[in-house]
Amino acid sequence: DADVTQTPRNRITKTGKRIMLECSQTKGHDRMYWYRQDPGLGLRLIYYSFDVKDINKGEISDGYSVSRQAQAKFSLSLESAIPNQTALYFCATSDGSGEKLFFGSGTQLSVL
Amino acid sequence: AQKVTQAQTEISVVEKEDVTLDCVYETRDTTYYLFWYKQPPSGELVFLIRRNSFDEQNEISGRYSWNFQKSTSSFNFTITASQVVDSAVYFCALSERLRDTGRRALTFGSGTRLQVQP
């Protein structure tokens, strides 16, 4: 079983819809992150959380919100999806030791 | 300002050629970490190496080697005798303290797509 699990793996939605991407981990890490990958732009940080009560905006947080329901769960929401949010989304965890990230398999989101 | 620059967008080589992927970074931290990740066509991100700013020793792992030079702020990655299975997008990343929170997070370069032709 994967240590960092993202659901769904693929999602197609329409402009204006609310959508939630979920991430759960069994690594016992406190730190969790959401990144977005666009072709030619690499991965950009959306939100990060260092524990359940600690949530911080990243480089590109506009249009997104997050919820850290438990140490193991970190969800990303798009309140009103728009086409330029079409991207590959990655959840990652870290134990804070040397900042190595452990990534989920990604969620490919398409907003029509 | 971009913190991690991978100037090579795409590289194509023939199998068994050596290839070097360039990475130049910018940071004000005195303590930081540098990483390389591989993203094969299947899409997952695979950790390759982490190097801290105090360790400038080059590293070799099989056909892979890394050259870290603080003087030029570079952390280049060389694949010797490339193989078709090396075809992937390779990302360089920098861990540094974020100005607004003081917390550390990874900043990624835009990636280099490597195609190894048989």
Percent of chain B residues topping a pLDDT of 90: 73
Q: Is B61 helix (H, G, I), strand (E, B) or coil?
A: strand
Q: Which residues of A touch B111 (CB under 8 A)?
A: 40, 42
Position A73 pLDDT exceeds 80: yes
pLDDT of residue B56: 82
> pLDDT by residue (tens digit) across A87-101?
999 999 998 777 789
- For A105, the closest of B4, B44, B95 (CB atoms) is B44
Which position has the higher pLDDT, B52 or B97?
B52
Is the separation of the CB atoms in A109 and A51 below 8 Å? no
Is the separation of the CB atoms in A21 and A109 below 8 Å? yes
pLDDT bin (cut points 50, 70, 90) of residue B1 is: very low
> pLDDT by residue (tens digit) across A9-45?
999 999 999 999 999 999 999 999 999 999 888 999 9
Q: Alpha-carbon distance B104 to A50, whole Å?
A: 10
- For A101, the closest of B100, B101, B106 (CB atoms) is B106
Average pLDDT rounded to a whole number, residues B18-37: 93
Position B100 pLDDT exceeds 80: no
pLDDT of residue B96: 78
